[in-house]
């Protein structure tokens, strides 16, 4: 596999030896050794590694570039958030596509295909599924920029990209806190490196968080509790599957991937349950519950092994249940229990109405899901430093000193929209600063078409539209369908942004009273620019058999100016 090296620092000369053109394939052992070194050193090491690797990618020799891309792939998948934060920086992405022409050629080179494949892989994984996806905005912008330039991304290999998606394994409170400490340390390192006043303010806030002035242990404990509840449900399903196999007498074959995967997940979570028991030693009732779960898992694992080896007689002696307790676990996981199966009593004494109103008051305690964590800030690049300048395709020049520094979680599109929205309409929005405007004739035609279409959307059903939410520049209108009735409410919701600030990660959640049934379709989008009317739409259907005033509890979460926001309230749809 090649010679091993003792690494004292990320040496560009050493990396060149790893990526020498004489190698016919990547040196996997040495690549992983470098990953281990980056994970052990942390600090500025992830940035140094990213800068050195991207310079090798831009070498003239294609074999060197391919080997460097293989090393980059290993670093992204093995070094976690600290290195992923570095590849999401605008300077790195500009350098990565430095040799891409303004318009794609008829045929891509192999290096270009590999770069496009990696950007697509990042876009489909860490930009969508990561807990810290708000910090990877520049990757989304680069993906959108390349797509708008005409570049076509290859299909992602699901198995290769799976490692970048968050795992569903159980984590103890200590593991979660260690993971957060690594993330905070990486963000702090980046903020201090940039050193602008805004960055230092954010670094000060982050240091207070790391020092314990703002304790988020309750949030982490809730996450552990939710994960334990999910593990309970898995054990119930696993028990039902084992009972089914035992009843059929067929045994467990190697082809049964579902039960094998479930066995692997439960087995890997088993030692974590013991660790959580040690952490929660003060809560006797919770510890007792966890010990019961631990014993249940032991029985399941033993029964699986007996059935796997064909010893059905001994397996039959281990009794595991997965029926009623499984249903209880499923109910425990429900975000909102509407009790749809429980009919209204039809009592006219006012008890139904009292319960109806009580539910609406109880909705204030519901949690529809946490918003993204506030992102930290980072400044621009030194204009004298050629690293990050990019080539024909780039995410734009660094911000002028008078402009506020973009945050670590912000993207170029958010920065442009917040500064240009007061002067430009939504249809003139410049996605990134290096886009060229179309000819005046084409621009005029586009504006005429878009204006006519917007006018048509706004005027249709205007008389029936009902404003149900107006908060922080948001306006949500409900336009009932022609066949809507008090007992079967059907409407389309339209979201408008009357403020100057672009808002992303927009999510509207709705809860209805007991006895009603809600069908909320997916939103048409989650990004809305400033001064945009009816940019996001969403269909909603509510069955209201009691034919009473229809009140709904709503929660609106979004990101504005790189910070997460959340608004809640109650609206009346029908009197």
Counting every residue written for the chain, the total comes to 575
| Out of 10-19, 49-58, 369-378, least confident range | 369-378
Integer Cα distance of 509 and 489 in angstroms: 17
Q: pLDDT category, 59, cuts 50, 70, 90? A: confident
The mean pLDDT value for 499-513 works out to 88
Q: pLDDT category, 373, cuts 50, 70, 90? A: very low
Q: pLDDT category, 342, cuts 50, 70, 90? A: very low
- Same domain for 302 and 362, yes or no, is no
Which residues does residue 554 pair with via DSSP β-bridges, in sequence order? 510, 569
| Out of 214-218, 265-269, 350-354, 504-508, least confident range | 350-354
- Same domain for 363 and 502, yes or no, is yes
Q: Is the confidence at residue 563, as pLDDT, over 60?
A: yes
Q: What is the pLDDT, as a whole number, of residue 266?
A: 83
Q: Is the confidence at residue 374, as pLDDT, over 70?
A: no
Q: What is the pLDDT, as a whole number, of residue 393?
A: 75
| Out of 17-26, 234-243, 358-367, 518-527, least confident range | 358-367
Residues 86, 89, 92, 93, CA torsion sign: positive
Q: Is the confidence at residue 72, as pLDDT, over 90?
A: yes
The domain tally of the chain equals 2
Q: Is the confidence at residue 189, as pLDDT, over 50?
A: yes
Claim: this prediction has a pTM higher than 0.75: no
Q: pLDDT category, 141, cuts 50, 70, 90? A: very high
- Same domain for 309 and 245, yes or no, is yes
User: For the segment 198-208, what is each residue's pLDDT rounded down to a tens digit?
Assistant: 778 777 877 87
Q: What is the pLDDT, as a whole number, of residue 139?
A: 93
C-alpha distances (whole Å) from 167 to each of 127, 157, 228, 538, 554 are: 15, 17, 14, 31, 30
- Same domain for 559 and 476, yes or no, is yes
| Out of 385-394, 454-463, 478-487, 554-563, least confident range | 454-463
User: For the segment 549-558, what is each residue's pLDDT rounded down to a tens digit?
Assistant: 888 899 999 9
Q: What is the pLDDT, as a whole number, of residue 301?
A: 82
The mean pLDDT value for 81-102 works out to 91
Q: Is the confidence at residue 41, as pLDDT, over 90?
A: no
Q: Tell me if 95 is assigned to some domain.
A: no
Q: pLDDT category, 503, cuts 50, 70, 90? A: confident
CB 449 within 8 A of CB 438: no
Q: What is the pLDDT, as a whole number, of residue 129?
A: 86
Q: Which pair of tokens denotes residue 163?
A: 């490692």
Q: Tell me if 21 is assigned to some domain.
A: no
- Same domain for 362 and 489, yes or no, is yes
Q: What are phi and psi of 556, to 5 degrees?
A: -120, 115
Q: What is the pLDDT, as a whole number, of residue 389?
A: 64
- The CATH number assigned to the domain holding 455 equals 2.60.40.1230
All residues at 6 or more sequence positions from 480 whose CB lies less than 8 Å from its CB, including other chains: 464, 466, 489, 490, 491
The mean pLDDT value for 534-554 works out to 88
Q: Tell me if 460 is assigned to some domain.
A: yes
The mean pLDDT value for 181-204 works out to 80
Q: Tell me if 111 is assigned to some domain.
A: no
- Same domain for 298 and 363, yes or no, is no
In 3D space, the residue among 122, 85, 126 whose CA is nearest the CA of residue 378 turns out to be 85
Tell how strand 503-511 and strand 563-574 pair up. unpaired
- Same domain for 367 and 319, yes or no, is no
Q: What is the pLDDT, as a whole number, of residue 542?
A: 92
Q: Which pair of tokens denotes residue 547?
A: 């034919």
Give the residue, 343 or 470, on which the prediction is more confident.
470
Q: Tell me if 485 is assigned to some domain.
A: yes
| Out of 134-148, 274-288, 423-437, 489-503, least confident range | 423-437
Q: What is the pLDDT, as a whole number, of residue 416?
A: 41
- Same domain for 300 and 243, yes or no, is yes
Q: Which pair of tokens denotes residue 556?
A: 């609106």
CB 531 within 8 A of CB 510: no
Q: What is the pLDDT, as a whole number, of residue 367?
A: 42
Q: Tell me if 229 is assigned to some domain.
A: yes
Q: What is the pLDDT, as a whole number, of residue 114?
A: 93
Residues 324, 327, 332, 337, CA torsion sign: negative
Give the residue, 264 or 490, on which the prediction is more confident.
490
Q: Tell me if 233 is assigned to some domain.
A: yes
Q: What is the pLDDT, as a whole number, of residue 110?
A: 92
Integer Cα distance of 251 and 304 in angstroms: 10
Q: Is the confidence at residue 490, as pLDDT, over 50?
A: yes
Helix/strand/coil for 470: strand
- Same domain for 484 and 518, yes or no, is yes
The mean pLDDT value for 147-176 works out to 82
- The CATH number assigned to the domain holding 298 equals 1.20.58.160
Q: Tell me if 401 is assigned to some domain.
A: no
Q: Which domain range does residue 277 map to?
A: 217-334
Q: Is the confidence at residue 109, as pLDDT, over 70?
A: yes
Mean of pLDDT over the chain? 73
- Same domain for 271 and 328, yes or no, is yes
User: For the segment 395-448, what is each residue's pLDDT rounded down to a tens digit?
Assistant: 764 433 334 444 454 444 444 444 444 444 333 433 333 333 344 433 444 444
- Same domain for 365 and 500, yes or no, is yes
- Same domain for 261 and 295, yes or no, is yes
Q: What is the pLDDT, as a whole number, of residue 388?
A: 64
């Amino acid at each position: 596999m090649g010679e091993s090296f003792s690494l004292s620092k990320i040496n560009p000369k050493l990396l060149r030896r790893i990526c020498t053109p004489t190698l016919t394939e990547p040196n996997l052992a040495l690549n992983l050794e470098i990953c281990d070194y980056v994970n052990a050193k942390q600090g500025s090491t992830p940035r140094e590694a990213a800068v050195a690797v991207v310079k090798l990618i831009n070498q003239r020799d294609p074999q060197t570039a391919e080997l460097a891309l293989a090393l980059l792939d290993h670093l992204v998948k093995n070094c976690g958030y600290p290195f992923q934060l570095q590849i999401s920086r605008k300077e790195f992405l500009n350098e990565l596509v430095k040799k891409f022409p303004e318009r794609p050629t008829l045929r891509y080179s192999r290096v270009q295909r590999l770069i496009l494949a990696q950007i697509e892989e990042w876009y489909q994984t860490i930009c969508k599924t990561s807990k810290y996806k708000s910090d990877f905005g520049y990757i989304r912008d680069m993906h959108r920029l390349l797509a708008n330039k005409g570049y076509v991304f290859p299909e992602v290999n699901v198995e290769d990209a799976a490692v970048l998606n968050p795992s569903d394994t159980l984590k103890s409170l200590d593991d979660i806190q260690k993971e957060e400490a690594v993330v905070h340390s990486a963000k702090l390192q980046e903020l201090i490196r940039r050193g602008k006043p805004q960055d230092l303010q954010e670094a000060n806030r982050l240091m207070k968080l790391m020092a314990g002035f703002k304790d988020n242990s309750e949030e982490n404990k809730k996450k552990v509790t939710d994960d334990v509840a999910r593990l309970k449900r898995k054990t119930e399903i696993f028990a039902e599957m084992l009972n089914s196999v035992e009843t059929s007498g067929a045994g467990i074959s190697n082809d049964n991937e579902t039960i094998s995967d479930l066995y692997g997940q439960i087995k890997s979570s088993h030692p974590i349950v013991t660790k959580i028991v040690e952490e929660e030693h003060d809560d006797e009732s919770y510890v007792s519950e966890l010990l019961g779960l631990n014993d249940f898992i032991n029985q399941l694992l033993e029964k699986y092994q007996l059935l796997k080896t064909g010893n059905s007689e001994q397996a039959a002696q281990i009794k595991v249940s997965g029926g009623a307790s499984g249903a209880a676990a499923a109910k425990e996981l429900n975000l909102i229990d509407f009790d749809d199966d429980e009919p209204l009593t039809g009592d006219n004494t006012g008890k139904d109405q009292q319960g109806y109103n009580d539910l609406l008051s109880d909705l204030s305690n519901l949690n529809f899901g946490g918003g993204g964590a506030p992102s930290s800030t980072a400044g621009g690049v030194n204009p004298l430093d050629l690293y990050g300048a990019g080539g024909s395709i780039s995410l734009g020049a660094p911000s002028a000193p008078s402009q506020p520094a973009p945050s670590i979680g912000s993207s170029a599109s958010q920065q442009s929209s917040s500064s240009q929205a007061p002067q430009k309409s939504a249809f003139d929005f410049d996605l990134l600063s290096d886009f060229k405007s179309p000819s005046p004739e084409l621009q005029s035609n586009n504006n005429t078409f878009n204006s006519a279409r917007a006018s048509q959307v706004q005027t249709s059903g205007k008389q029936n539209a009902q404003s149900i939410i107006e908060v922080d520049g948001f306006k949500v209108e409900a336009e009932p369908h022609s066949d809507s009735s008090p007992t079967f409410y059907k409407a389309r919701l339209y979201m408008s942004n009357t403020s100057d600030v672009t808002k992303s990660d927009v999510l509207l959640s709705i809860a209805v009273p007991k006895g009603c049934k809600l069908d909320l379709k997916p939103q048409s989008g989650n990004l809305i620019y400033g001064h945009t009317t009816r940019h996001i739409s969403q269909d909603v259907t509510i069955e209201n058999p009691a034919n009473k005033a229809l009140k709904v509890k709503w929660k609106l979460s979004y990101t504005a100016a790189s910070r997460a926001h959340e608004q809640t309230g109650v609206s009346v749809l029908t009197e």
